[in-house]
Amino acid sequence: MGKGKNPNDSIFKRFGGTLANAVENLIFAHEEVPQEPTAPATAAAGAPDGAAAPAKSGAAAAPAKAADAEKPKVDSKLVNAILESAEELGPALNIYSGYVKTFEEIIPDESSRYKAAFAAAAKVSPLQVDDLLRAADEQIASLKNEKKDFLEGIGEKNSEVDALNEEIKDIDARIEALKEQIKSLETLKMKKEELATNLSANIKKATVRFDAALAAVEQLLRKKKARIERNLKGM
């Protein structure tokens, strides 16, 4: 048992080494099938009473399926970790709870069992009912520190979410800018395609005209040669 535990300490300051690791483990932990919290073994171990959930009686009405669907799954590992942290306060209550657990099988009646456990615990060290109630109040009050530190860790994760959302906004803005750039490029492409089509057509026209002119010149030159040969041959 952690004697002299600081009441302001919480499991989230020790779970996973640091508060950041604790929240990291909680957020990204693999989903497990919920189980009942581990029950204490003996009084000597200082185990708490009520660590395991009470058995349901056959007369208890089964909850509606819709109600079950709304209930969050209970992480038994986390329950036991928080419970263990809280029980580091009020060691006398833990010893008493251990006796209650030990007497479960031999004293079925709850009232008689609790009284017998109190008598047994009082023989070990002086004990008053108010001491047990005060210790219980301390353990319950310690849950506020658990919640405070958890929210602190979640706050850091929320900051990460905010940062990611800002990055998403920046990416969206860049995407929109790229869309505008693509539109401009598509317009430029259409203009270039029009110019290329027109230029290609002009090249074909120019080629036809040049070939026609070249043929005409060749014909003229050949006629000139023929005249020379005809009129000057044999001189």
Give residue 170's pLDDT.
Answer: 96
Confidence of residue 55 (pLDDT cuts 50, 70, 90): very low
Residue 194 has pLDDT above 60, yes or no: yes
How do residues 86-142 score in pLDDT, each as one tens digit? 888 878 888 899 999 999 999 999 999 999 999 998 888 888 899 899 989 988 998
Of 87, 93, 90, 85, nearest to 146 by C-alpha is 85
Report the SS3 class of residue 212: helix
Q: What's the Cα-to-Cα distance from 85 to each of 1, 2, 88, rounded to whole Å? A: 10, 9, 5
88: left (phi over 0), alpha (psi -120 to 50) or beta: alpha
Q: Is the pLDDT of residue 149 over 60?
A: yes
| Separation between Cα atoms, residue 39 and residue 105, nearest integer Å | 14
**pTM of the predicted structure, to 2 decimals:** 0.46
pLDDT for 167-182, tens place per residue?
999 999 999 999 999 9
- Asked if 81 contacts 15 with a C-beta cutoff of 8 angstroms, the reply is yes
Nearest to 83 by CA among 15, 151, 172: 15
**CA separation for the pair 12, 124 (Å, rounded):** 33
Look at 56 and 148; give whichever has higher pLDDT.
148
Whether 143 has a pLDDT exceeding 60, the answer reads yes
